[in-house]
A and B are shown apart, each in its own frame.
Chain A
Amino acid sequence: MDVLELARWQFGITTVYHFLMVPLTIGLAVLVAGMQTAWVRTGDVKYLRMTKFWGKLLLVNFAMGVVTGIVQEFQFGMAWSEYSRFVGDVFGAPLAMEGLVAFFVESTFLGLWIFGWDRLPQRVHLACAWAFSLATVASAYFILAANSWMQHPVGVELVDGKPRLTSIWAVLTNNTALAAIPHTVAGCFAVAGAFLVGVGGWHLWRTRDDQHGDDGDRPVWRASVRYGGWVGAVAFAALAITGDLQGKLMFEQQPMKMAAAEALCHTEQPAGFSVFAIGDVSRPDCEDVKSITVPALLSFLAHNDFTSEVRGIEDLVQEYRERYGANYPVDDRLGELSGQPIDYVPNLPVTYWGFRLMIGFGALSALAAVGVLWVTRRGRIPRGKWFPRLALAGIATPFLANSFGWIFTEMGRQPFVVVPNPSGVDGVWMFTARGVSGLTTGEVWTSLITLTLVYGALAVVEVFLIARYVRGGVAGVMPPEKPDGTSDDHLAFAY
């Protein structure tokens, strides 16, 4: 493999890894702040116990989210220096704002929240929880605005062959970003909701025969499951609406990505939506592919009109060759690709199946959320073994949907790292092959292997710790009652 391929694998692995931790942090942070608010307002100790239990799991996860995020901040310059030089004038601004506006708030107020239980007045402590959790959402806003600019560059002019920022407002209100942000944040809530349902459901089932309140925490588990179920259901509704919006923008702004999502070879009018394909979708001529199709649905998804035309890959390739060239320029920095024909078609099996898996796992997680609200209605506790098994398995579905969604989004824009905006400024686009740093393969192999191993090892540790705290229940996180006569000097929390 050459530097380009290695650097792409590395960015993919580290980002997918980072985005396993991030959605749980964002979703759970806001939900925990909500639990603490319920406690402060009602004084019901059930909510305090919920806050403590889910807060502990949040912290175990947060640590990993932070450290994997550090690498991302530097990886642009390390492995993608040509890209960084090209887009720096625009791309750096949201990144720096994210640091200054969101990361500082997050990290500082999280510290105050963890250690401030007995140092701060109750309401100030609660405000710290909100500051921290809203900052996680704010950081998502800035980084998604940066990413959306790569998908649909706006607010720039071309000076000396490079995009130059003319309006930060245009970048921060890019319609691509305004659709991507609620979609991603809703995905985060789906993760947190499924987590509450899975863990809470397992505990609820485990203590089902406990009539005497020996396990005093049953109200905690019941409230968690119901809370998680509602969050998951509402999140899915938001995901469906924002997903449709994003799809319509994508047809307009990145037609190739949408055609690749459907593996739609020929332009069709009206076009059907492929539900499931049998055969090799990567054949550009569509031979051998049998697809179960809903007629005219794709036309509707694209343009809100059941009869409209949807352009296929063959047509688009033709157009891209005319607009952006048939061959890569002859340039030493492009290595083996120098002078070679440009492949404008993304990796079709990945985009086609990634899109379907995202929707499929998303739908499964919605089904689980609605199902759990039904089976736990009016104080019921399902007695069958299927309940805890399905609830725990359900935790994985929104994680998978998130990962496949991002893999589809990012691999669907290849071979571009900055996708040309059809109604934007000419020349503001960049091939991925042109963005990579002039490193040796040895260097990138080293970092790829190191980061994969370190991340892998830490993932094992995190899952081990989370499982341990989940099993420990609320008793494992509540401070033990102090026997009389001991000093009150102890910190409420110490590492």
Chain B
Amino acid sequence: MDLADLWFCVIAVLWLGYLFLEGFDFGVGMLMPVLARDDTERRVMINTIGPVWDGNEVWLLVAGGATFAAFPGWYASLFSGTYLLLLLFLVALIGRGVAFEYRGKVDSDRWRRWWDRVIVAGSLVAAIGVGLLVATTVLGLPIDADGNRVGSPFAAVTAESLLGAAALVGFALVHGSVFIALKTDGDIRHRARAFAIRVGPWALLPLAGLLVVVQLTSGKWWTWTAVAVVLVVAALAFERLTAGREGQAFAALGVAVVATVVALFGALYPNVLPSTVDPAFSLTVADTASSPYTLEVMSWVALFGTPAVLVYQGWTYWVFRKRVSTAHIPPVHVP
């Protein structure tokens, strides 16, 4: 395996980190109107991800930056080709990030109601955006020999990529509700668990659909095993959840994310962005990779940087491991 292939794996790992961590963040945001009955419960939900959502989001920035460094052609073609969709996604992330921070800064119901809407809409739109982006990367864009998009600004919106968006939204709902069941106590915990059990199996159908579509388009024999793993662990997650073991269910869903990323990126390889115009125009790992020297430098940085990130992010989760309940929420205190 040469360095370019290694970096393809690193990018996949960064996306894995992002999908794993921001999956439940999006879920928490989208589920606010579903699971919370009053303002205190909404605050319980937000504070399950309070100390960590920003660090979770950095995985996306680093995935973007690492793609730029290791595969500039991939970075340039994908992000210019999906320009307007990416814009919508970024605006959603902007609103959502500001809303978490500003929501509690003024003691007014109207103020909070507006920011709550931004959190819900931002989480939903951002989840749709990530789903479209990942599905487009795997399934391809109409790009010409120079890597430039030839179709309309919405060329990335196809039935298959919309399936990807639905897959991500559905998964985020399940992941988010299991996360809330794991991180809260009281009524909201039971509501979250009940929601996950009731809605979960249906919410994961688009993901199964996407995996099958990708397999039929560009799957390899071994990526089918990853798909099988996704199905098995998803079923296991529900079994554990009904048994009341939220931690084990959450872990099983984590394995599902890993297997999903393996299935998608495994099917993508050796391309990084297939062309739907002509397979000869597809961008590949070998064509778009940076020079061996750049990749070597980046490998050293990643070799030392990534374990450190995992250690201190893991430590953060450990520090804030206690369940949050309405009894923990302090009264609003603002000037």
Q: Which residues of A contact B (CB under 8 A)?
A: 59-60, 62-64, 66-71, 73-74, 76-79, 81-82, 84-85, 87-93, 95-101, 103-105, 107-112, 114-116, 119-120, 159, 164-166, 168, 437-440, 442-443, 446-447, 450-451, 454, 458, 461, 465, 468-469, 471-473, 475-477, 479-480, 487, 489-495
Contacts and interface: CB of A to CB of B under 8 A. Distances in A.
Given A99-B58, A99-B65, A495 B335 contact: no
A451 B306 CA distance: 32
Contacts of A480: 331, 333
Interface string B73-105: 101111110011011001101110110111111
Interface string B45-71: 011001111110110111011111111
Contacts of A439: 80, 83, 153
A67 to B, nearest CB: 4
B98 A477 contact: no
Contacts of B148: 81, 437-438
B319 A120 contact: yes
Contacts of B153: 439-440, 442-443
A119 B321 CA distance: 11
Contacts of B51: 111-112, 114-116
28 contacts: A71-B94, A77-B64, A77-B75, A78-B79, A78-B83, A81-B77, A84-B72, A85-B73, A88-B76, A90-B294, A92-B66, A93-B294, A93-B298, A99-B66, A104-B312, A107-B57, A111-B54, A119-B320, A165-B294, A446-B84, A451-B91, A458-B94, A472-B335, A475-B335, A476-B334, A479-B330, A489-B328, A492-B330
A78 B80 contact: yes
A480 B332 CA distance: 10
B330 A491 contact: yes
Interface string B285-321: 0000011011001100110011001001100100110
A332 B94 CA distance: 35
Q: Which 4 A-B pairs have the closest CB atoms?
A: A88-B72, A472-B335, A476-B335, A92-B69
B147 interface: yes
Contacts of A82: 76
Given A66-B97, A77-B79, A491 B309 contact: no
Given A104-B313, A450-B87, A475-B335, A85 B76 contact: yes
Contact of A73 (B65, B97, B98): B65
A362 B191 CA distance: 57
Contacts of A108: 52, 54-55, 58, 309, 312-313, 316
Contact of A111 (B55, B62, B79): B55
A100 B301 contact: yes
Contact of A495 (B47, B69, B98, B306): B47
B293 A166 contact: yes
A495 B293 CA distance: 45
| Interface residues on chain B, size class | 35 or more
B133 to A, nearest CB: 10
Given A107-B57, A446-B87, A495-B47, A92 B52 contact: no
B106 interface: yes
A84 B78 CA distance: 12
B328 A76 contact: no
A124 to B, nearest CB: 9
Interface of B: 43, 46-47, 50-55, 57-58, 60-62, 64-73, 75-80, 83-84, 86-87, 90-91, 93-95, 97-98, 100-106, 147-149, 153, 290-291, 293-294, 297-298, 301-302, 305-306, 309, 312-313, 316, 319-320, 324, 327-331, 333-335
Contacts of B58: 99, 103-104, 107-108
B98 A64 contact: yes
A24 to B, nearest CB: 15
A351 to B, nearest CB: 29
A16 to B, nearest CB: 16
A82 B58 CA distance: 25
Contacts of A495: 43, 46-47, 50, 100-101, 103-104
Contact of A99 (B47, B61, B290): B61
Contacts of A461: 98, 102
Contact of B72 (A92, A473, A493, A494): A92
Given A494-B330, A495-B103, A84 B75 contact: yes
A104 B62 contact: yes
Contacts of B298: 93, 96
A85 B90 contact: no
B335 A67 contact: no
Given A104-B62, A108-B316, 7 more contacts: A59-B101, A88-B69, A92-B72, A104-B309, A105-B312, A108-B313, A480-B331
A457 to B, nearest CB: 10
Given A112-B51, A476-B334, A88 B62 contact: no
Nearest to B312: A108
A115 B48 CA distance: 11
Nearest to B84: A443
Contacts of B334: 468, 472, 476
A454 B118 CA distance: 12
A324 B234 CA distance: 61
B330 A96 contact: no
Contacts of B104: 494-495
Contacts of B105: 60, 465, 468-469
A96 B102 CA distance: 29
A294 to B, nearest CB: 45
A468 B106 contact: yes
A19 B273 CA distance: 33
A71 B91 CA distance: 9
Contacts of B101: 59-60, 62-63, 495
B43 to A, nearest CB: 6
Contacts of A112: 51, 316, 319
Contacts of B333: 479-480
Given A93-B298, A494-B328, A73 B64 contact: yes
A2 B302 CA distance: 40
A165 B297 CA distance: 10
A89 B65 contact: no
Contact of B76 (A84, A100, A493): A84
Given A96-B62, A100-B305, A115-B50, A84 B68 contact: yes
B79 A74 contact: yes
A494 B294 contact: no
Instruction: Report which residue of A77, A105, A468, A469 has the largest number of chain B beta carbons within 10 angstroms of its beta carbon.
Output: A77
Residue among A100, A105, A114 with the highest chain B CB neighbour number at 10 A:
A100
A101 B297 CA distance: 14
B90 A74 contact: yes
B291 A164 contact: yes
B80 A489 contact: no
A137 B153 CA distance: 38
